[in-house]
Structure 1
Amino acid sequence: MYSLGIDIGTTSCKICIVSSSSSSSSNENNRIIFTEQLAHNAHIIQKEFTSFDEQYPSKILETVDKLLEKSGSLNNDSLIKSIQICGQMHGFILWSSKSPRTIVSSLITWQDQRCSTEFLSTLGSSLTHLRTGYGLATLLWLINEQKGKEDELIKYDRAGTIADYIVEILCEDSTINSQISTQMATSWGAVNNKWPIEHRLLPIIVEPGTIIGYWKKKIPVYVALGDLQCSVFSCQPKKNQGVLNISTSAQLALAIDRQSSMINGSDGDNISSSIRVPYFESKDLLVAASLNGGNILSAFVHLIYSWQLSLNNNSSLSIDILWSRLIELGLQSSSTIENFSAALFGERHDSSMAASITNIRSINMPQLNDIGCVFRSICQWIIKNLFEMLGKDSLIMECVIGTGSALMRNDVLQRELKEKVQYPVIFHEHSDAAYGAALFALMQ
């Protein structure tokens, strides 16, 4: 029997079909039957509201349909045991259960910046943990926008992450009540698996492995899970093994027992740079979840590309060639830049963080003239930032497993990770959220 996992990412969707000769979760017993990744190109260009970050759910749904078709699952589903969807966390989407394909809002993603510090400060003492991009903060912002206007939310009776939306689309006989996993609920702003406020659109919080409905009326589809948890699960880390994932964003995670006294949270008026979130069964994850990962490298590459086009319209350097050349030059570089920050997207615990190079003098110019040195410095900062965010909790690690599309494609990032730690580093090329989702479904 096979299990099918789908990851709804920020820039792409990926499908993975896994078979096993054993009920064990051991990776040695599992075989990937099919895997495919497609960009969904769902980003909505915001000309008027530049702080908004939204995506077209229809384009994401089209991409999922294409992946199912390419996998052959649409025509031959007789061997599929179950389906697990996971995806980008924190984001918020509304739809109508009566017509989910046509009555649906845009997806407001985790990168959205509409909830200003001033707005968040008005929400009350029970909601001080919310950050812009969190689903609960987004809902409250939308409610606030409706004051004195016709209620545009009345046409919706469902709210969830984009993965929750895809789950309901797949299930023709979905449950009467809207449901969300403990993992996704926490990413929205739930505390101890409970909502800190009441609202008709907030779904019921359930445990991972809860069946939401059935695809083609026979194949169980489980409640959507977080891409972070599924990425970690795909690596099957042992005790004191950390998992470092770099895709669009970046995370450094460590699985601990739920009863562990290692508790992360706010320290007085200071917001912790790491968080504790639900994992599976009796475990939690300690996580440094950075907003800065492969996205800042991509922004740098596109900056260089636009500069060279401005200087030479006839340039034949493509984005792909630039990527390859920058990685090559980064590997050749023997130094990095001091007084350097690549925090282009800030961080949830410190929105004032920004990308910068300070104390530039003529003596530093040779480094700035070396574009490989600049690229390597960005890679080094991404790794360093994750360990600084996790803080002292990273000291118990005895090994780190590296995964994620941005990390696996970038030898400079891999080298910087190896140089950062004094213990073994293992790279899992095929371990990702889609595989982790399929693996979890296989075990149910």
Structure 2
Amino acid sequence: MAAPSITLGIDLGTTSVKAALLEAAPGDPSGFVVLASCARASRAEVATQSAAAGTQGREQDVSRILQALHECLAALPRQELRKVGAIGVSGQMHGVVFWKTGQGCEWTEGRTTPMFESRTVSHLVTWQDGRCSSGFLASLPQPESHLSVATGFGCSTIFWLLKNSPEFLSPYDAAGTIQDYVVAMLCGLPRPLMSDQNAASWGYFNTWSQKWNLGMLKASGFPVHLLPDIVEPGSVAGRTSHTWFEIPKGTEVGVALGDLQASVYSCMAQRTDAVLNISTSVQLAASMPSGFQPVQTPDPSAPVAYFPYFNRSYLGVAASLNGGNVLATFVHMLVQWMAELGLGIEESSVYSHMIQAAAQQEDTCLTITPTVLGERHLPDQLASVTRISSSDLSLGHVTRALCRGIVQNLQSMLPAQQLKAWGVERVIGSGSALSRNEVLKQEVQRAFPFPVAFGQDVDAAVGAALVMLRRDLNKKAV
């Protein structure tokens, strides 16, 4: 009998790194079992190197990210790592890191557990980077793509460096997302490879033709030699060039995925599922009907964006900036008010009391538009409270209205009727804000005319592993 197929999934997130080991569920071709997982805070944020970036620059130290990754692997069971047959990798999208081909890392095999360390590598300029002002972005060429460019996008950052710090680029001849870098180092790739998921997140990539906007970029003086080659998500980028911890040399490594797509893949059991994740912010994603192609004109004011998924399909995604952070802002406001009244109370206690009060208040006429942070498509929008009456001013009324407002705001971006038109039949609810807030769950169930299933949280590391696990199973079935 053949040994069970085990895959390793890695997600290189903005604040933490996670690794997970998966194997196929016995007797269930589509099922899987998580054998072990581990997460470590990366603590990689550093001061920006360029003074010209000002306070808006956001960079991370690659060596600290690798340290967190290696801590995760060291915590996984060695006997399972020896059985790993494939590795899937995902990570934070949009960002860019630069390295020198052949000198991007150094393998240290003399240790008990072989690993690689960064060498001729820049800091990672993350998706949170704000150095590209609106004026600077307006000066860039209009992309031949259905997606706009924004600050923090790889190509925007390269344009900024080209203008403000051209000497910065001279030591490097390769670039990619942090997950592309890790895949290139694991496999010893002569040139970086990138999936269309990450390429689309960089800007200046046409998902119809699967090509960079090379003509336009060359004409603008852009260093196109830095752009990675494009391959299909779910395909193999290469094989490990060294033993890595206990993982054998020659293990298949998938091309790096975007963390959004890997997260959705981890819990979207059917194409007819929509995935709703309410954590600090909110994302609602659904698989677009077969044959869908977005209009090739960027529209920054559109509330729904279309991102490459798998097999040349797309995800329709409404991403709200206002989720659990709005509830946290409300709690913080209450604590401040009470402090000003001379009363001290913990935020965790306030949160639990207000959820209990809202659970007893089944309905309210109070209406709260909770957009205290604006939205990407409406950056100047503010929050508001309407239909205020003296009978609806209790803590329970306000908390119920706030939870309802978070869900209704999302629905204003992506209505249920649109989900129906796309063929959605069920909503998978996940995220930390949903898991700890029964009232928010009730409002989600009230808002959607579909069955809502809770309990399976999105997990990009699991999704990255699952892509490779199913690829392996499909290959064996042929």
| TM-score, length of structure 1 as denominator length | 0.83
Kept in 2: contact 1:167–1:221 (CA 8 A): yes
Task: Tell me: CA distance 1:155–1:425, structure 2 relative to 1, closer, same or farther (3 Å).
Answer: same
CA contact (8 A) 1:265 1:276 kept: no
TM-aligned CA deviation for residue 91 of structure 1:
2.0
Mean CA deviation greater in 221-230 or 101-110: 101-110
Listed one character per residue, the Cα deviations across residues 285-339 of structure 1 (whole Å, up to 9, x for unaligned) are: 1121334444444555566667767877x9572x655554454444345547535
Structure-2 residue corresponding to 1:417: 444
Residue number in structure 1 paired with 2:167: 151
Contact 1:336 1:376 in 2 (8 A): no
Instruction: Give 1:64 deviation, angstroms.
Output: 1.4
What letter matches 2:10 in structure 1? I
Spell out, residue by residue over 1:108-166, the C-alpha distance to the aligned partner (whole angstroms, 9 max, x if none): 332333222211111123368212222222221222212xxx61111222322222233
**Alpha-carbon distance in structure 1 between the residues aligned to 2:58 and 2:10:** 23
Correspondence 1:62 to 2:67: yes
Partner of 1:393: 418
Structure-to-structure mapping, 1:214-225, within 5 angstroms: 214=240, 216=243, 217-225=249-257
Contact 2:180 2:192 in 1 (8 A): no
Aligned pairs for 1:275-424 within 5 A: 275-298=305-328, 315=344, 317=346, 320-321=348-349, 323-333=351-361, 334-335=363-364, 337-338=366-367, 340-344=369-373, 346-353=374-381, 355-357=382-384, 367=393, 370=395, 375-391=399-415, 393-396=418-421, 397-424=424-451
Tell me: CA distance 1:225–1:301, structure 2 relative to 1, closer, same or farther (3 Å): farther
CA contact (8 A) 1:25 1:439 kept: no
Which residue type is aligned with residue 33 of structure 1?
L
Contact 2:12 2:178 in 1 (8 A): yes
Segment of structure 1 superposing worse, 325-334 or 196-205: 325-334
Q: Would you say 1:164 and 2:207 are equivalent positions?
A: no
Partner of 2:284: 252
What aligned pairs does 1:192-271 form with structure 2 within 5 A after superposition? 192=207, 193-196=210-213, 197-198=217-218, 199-208=224-233, 209-214=235-240, 216=243, 217-260=249-292, 263=294, 266=297, 271=301
- Deviation for aligned residue 1:410: 3.3
Q: Tell me: CA distance 1:122–1:442, structure 2 relative to 1, closer, same or farther (3 Å).
A: same
> Which of 92, 109, 119 is 2:136 aligned to?
119
Specify the SS of the correspondent of 2:211. coil
Partner Cα distance (2:400, 2:46) in 1: 31
CA RMSD of aligned residues (A): 3.3
The one-letter amino acid paired with 2:419 is S
Q: Unpaired runs of 5+ in structure 2? A: 106-117, 219-223, 244-248, 472-478
Residue equivalent to 2:206: 191
Indicate the SS of the match to 2:40. Answer: strand
Give the unaligned 5+ runs of structure 1.
Answer: none
Amino acid at match of 2:151: T
Counterpart of 1:286 in structure 2: which amino acid?
G
Q: TM-score, normalised by structure 2?
A: 0.78
| Residue equivalent to 2:96 | 92
8 Å Cα contact 1:84/1:224 also seen in 2: yes
In structure 2, the CA distance between the partners of 1:104 and 1:311, relative to structure 1 (3 Å rule), is farther
**What percentage of aligned pairs have identical amino acids?**
36
> Which residue of structure 2 aligns with residue 132 of structure 1?
151
Q: How far is the alpha carbon of 1:76 from its aligned partner?
A: 5.4
Contact 2:392/2:398 (8 A) holds in 1 = no
- The separation in 2 between residues aligned to 1:293 and 1:212, in whole angstroms, is 39
Instruction: Report if aligned partners of 1:264, 1:286 keep a CA contact under 8 Å in 2.
Output: no
SS of alignment partner, residue 152 of structure 1: helix
Given the alignment, which residue of 61, 67, 72 partners 2:77?
72
> Which secondary structure state, in structure 1, belongs to the residue aligned with residue 444 of structure 2?
helix
d(CA) in 2 for partners of 1:131, 1:90: 9
Letter in structure 1 aligned against 2:169: L
Per-residue CA deviation, residues 243-276 of structure 1 (Å, 9 max, x unaligned), is 1123444321111344136x46658x76322122
Specify whether residues 35 and 322 from structure 1 end up closer, same or farther in structure 2 by C-alpha distance, changes over 3 A only. Answer: farther
Do the aligned residues in 1 keep the contact of 2:368 with 2:405 (CA within 8 Å)?
no
Partner of 1:437: 464
How many pairs were matched up? 427
The offset of 1:5, in angstroms, is 0.8
Q: Distance in 2 between matches of 1:297 and 1:401?
A: 21
Residues 390-417 of structure 1, C-alpha deviations (whole Å, 9 max, x = no match): 3453233322111234433433332221
Match of 2:124 in 1: 107
SS at match of 1:155: coil
Cα pair 1:95 1:159 within 8 Å, conserved? yes
SS of the counterpart of 1:441?
A: helix
What amino acid does structure 1 have at the position aligned with 2:212?
W
* Shift of residue 279, structure 1, vs aligned partner: 1.1
Rounded to whole Å, the distance in 2 between the matches of 1:25 and 1:210 is 21
